[in-house]
Amino acid sequence: MPRKIIIDTDPGQDDAVAILLALASPELEVLGITAVAGNVPLPLTQKNGRTVVELARKDTPVYAGCEAPLKRKLVTAEHVHGKTGLDGIALPDPTHPLQPEHAVDFLIDTLRAHAPGTITLCPLGPLTNIATAFQRAPDIVSRVAEIVLMGGGCFEGGNITPAAEFNIYVDPEAADIVFRSGVPLVVMPLDVTHKALTSRAWVEGMRSLGTPVGQAVASWTDFFERFDTAKYGSEGAPLHDPCVIAYLLEPALFTGRHINVEIETQSPLTLGMTVADWWRVTDRAPNALFMGGVDREGFYRLLTERLGRL
């Protein structure tokens, strides 16, 4: 039986690679893709989600969700992902339809319709859709099997402010709701994703597949690699979001600790910080499996094998 998942996302080149990895993997049944505003505004994230589904030649439904954070003005990241969010290769406008149902309603209805503990949520962007669903329908919280998300940082600090990672910073109040929800959490922070750097050989390997998916992945990576190599002085760019899907497929690729993680929602200096009690210096109860390490070679081997199927 494949594991049922919902991917909540703001695509984003690395989001797109994560979606493709999930759609290429028979161990996972993607019930739907819910778009949220984040890397770019909602009209672009829902369009990008449909573009990626079409690229994979799948019919996975895509839903548009929240267009702004719970309490704040939207902060976007065109400086990383380009004006469309998927800059790097010109792809045709998708014909794959947008579903009429709001993403939050889809989340609520789907979790109510399935047996408790059978659906895993995979947020790759700000947590606005998930938090809104939890607020609107508290009965669904206990029905979620697990949330595996990309967000936060500990020893790596932040990537949008010195203290905060982008996904958490955009909607810290939403993140706070999710981290306090009691749902089992697995967190892929910058500490892991900055160890999952692309290499020139891998990008060219994608290109040499000669498939539309291979061409797109290589072009997307080329585009945002320029930003990350300039910023971090690193060899390649971190593929943040595919870590979430890779964990579902091969959890042994990752190492971490079950610790307490709180979200800073008040401080102007550290707003959106994931305050991760890595050394367990407080008596706060653990609420998240917070990852710290990744087998980079194994991660890219998995990506290559799966993306080659599409």
Domain locations along the chain: 3-307
What's residue 224's pLDDT? 72
**What is this structure's pTM?**
0.95
Structural domain 3-307, CATH architecture: Alpha-Beta Complex (3.90)
Q: Which of 79, 96, 102, 240 is catalytic?
A: 240
Enumerate residue ranges in the chain where pLDDT < 70: 225-234
The CA distances from residue 206 to 39, 209, 276, 293, in Å, are: 24, 5, 35, 24
Pairing between strand 288-294 and 254-259? antiparallel
The CA distances from residue 35 to 111, 124, 227, 268, 309, in Å, are: 17, 10, 24, 28, 25
What's residue 250's pLDDT? 98
What's residue 234's pLDDT? 58
What token pair was written down for 108? 């609520």
Pairing between strand 261-263 and 62-64? unpaired
* Catalytic residue check, 240: yes
What's residue 84's pLDDT? 82
Q: One-letter amino acid identity for 85?
A: G
Q: pLDDT, tens digit, for every residue of 56-93?
A: 999 999 999 999 999 999 999 887 888 887 888 888 89
Inter-residue contact 310 to 213 (CB < 8 Å)? yes
What's residue 238's pLDDT? 83
Residue indicated by tokens 């910073």: 169
Residue 75: partners with Cβ closer than 8 Å, 6 or more residues away: 160, 166, 169, 170
What's residue 78's pLDDT? 82
What's residue 310's pLDDT? 86
